[in-house]
Amino acid sequence: MPFIIAIDGPAASGKGTIARALADHYGFHHLDTGLLYRATGAKGGDPVEAARTLVPDDLRRNDLRSADAGQAASRIAAIPEVRAALVDFQHRFAAQEPGAVLDGRDIGTVICPDAQVKLYVVASNEVRARRRAEELGADPAEMLAQLHERDRRDRERDTAPLRPADDATIIDTSHISVDEAITAAIAIVDRVRG
């Protein structure tokens, strides 16, 4: 049985950076599940049909990291039929040997509730806005407003709202370095793996 690491948290909290580092460290497969929603939104047209016809090549588009793609992803992620269409894709990915690291909003609560390790990565709103602004070359105040709106949508949606799994370990990256966050995550995984 593959070893699954589920990493959830709001946008720009550092979950993707930690997920990639863990996948590299353990030789596991990595899926940024947000890309599924970004790619579905970027395809345009009917979002349910776009989700049903999503293929791995769709995740390689150059425009998936834009603020517009992120906002589109958050909007279509609230559509239950879109979420259902993408669940099978995520389950198949998580079943790969020797293991998989999936990061998103509902990995530990919905997609992989039996994951051996569940992390919930957070950071203050101001830190997240600054990070996203630096990443996109945007205005921090504008990013803060967008993050507030996105967080509200993600937490209030009826299907799979953003929240930590009951058995998730919280990692707050507000005041620690990237290396410190990764070291903390590796220590948590190593404890579970024995």
- Return d(Cα 184, Cα 171) in angstroms, integer: 8
Which residues are annotated as part of the binding site? 9-17
pLDDT tens digits for 22-61? Answer: 999 999 999 999 899 999 999 889 999 999 998 888 988 9
Using DSSP's 3-state secondary structure scheme, residue 146 falls into helix
Q: In this predicted model, which residue has the larger pLDDT, 113 or 44?
A: 113
pLDDT for residue 159 is more than 80: no
Confidence of residue 145 (pLDDT cuts 50, 70, 90): very high
Which residues are annotated as part of the binding site for ATP? 9-17
Q: How many CB atoms lie within 10 A of CB 187?
A: 9
Contact between 120 and 171 under an 8 Å Cβ cutoff? The reply is yes
* Average pLDDT score over the chain: 92
Using DSSP's 3-state secondary structure scheme, residue 147 falls into helix
The domains found in the chain, sorted by start residue, are 3-193 (3.40.50.300)
Q: At what angle do helices 140-156 and 67-76 cross, to 10 degrees?
A: 10
